[in-house]
Amino acid sequence: MRPGPLVPQFGRVFCSGEQTNLCVLVYQLFFGYPTFLDSKMMPVLACTAPEGFSSKMLLHYHQLIKTGEFKRYDYGFFENKAKYGQHSAPSIDLSNVTAPVALFYAPNDLNAPIRKVRQLHDALPNVQMMYEIKNKYFNHADFIDSDNRDVLFNAPLISYLNSVVHSSADGS
């Protein structure tokens, strides 16, 4: 799922030179404010970060927010019937996810509000850990490109993964 030409073109036009502030504003509209992002990185991120990001994925995300339900992609009345054998998009039963899960969330994450993370926690049968990032300004994008993600996210994640590896090695 590669981005269309519009996203990198937007990055080249609005995320370089004097336009960087506009790019930062658009970025913060999607991911929250304030962010720990170095604004000098905006031209690079705007042209490279959307890799693997499709308009269908955005539409599906919008559908999930609009309905408040975890469902497959809604193609519309007739195409749903052809694809799924029913006129509406089927729900996804999260109780079938039996793999151990660790949920990391941030207080300022507009894309994954705490109430939705709790809802996900309650729907998944095998949540091993639920970890809140210890900074009230940390947001969705900061998991990827924040200056302080090593301390706030990567270190707790690595610690958790090490505990999983050690408990597996011990046979626990």
- Domains of the chain, residue spans: 1-53, 93-166
- Report pTM: 0.77
Q: What does the pLDDT average to over 8-22?
A: 71
Most confidently predicted of 13-22, 60-69, 90-99:
90-99
pLDDT in tens, 87-103: 999 999 999 999 999 99
* Local structure of residue 152 (DSSP, 8 states): I
For residues 94 and 148, give the distance between their C-alpha atoms in angstroms, rounded to a whole number. Answer: 32
Query: Is 159 or 19 the better-scoring residue by pLDDT?
Result: 159
Residue 53: is its pLDDT beyond 70? Answer: no
Pure H helices in the chain: 6-14, 20-31, 42-48, 55-67, 77-84, 114-123, 142-145, 149, 155-169
User: 24 with 42: CB under 8 angstroms?
Assistant: yes
> Phi then psi for 105, rounded to 5 degrees?
-140, 160
pLDDT in tens, 114-165: 999 999 999 999 999 999 999 999 998 888 878 899 999 999 999 999 999 9
What's the pLDDT score for residue 1? 42
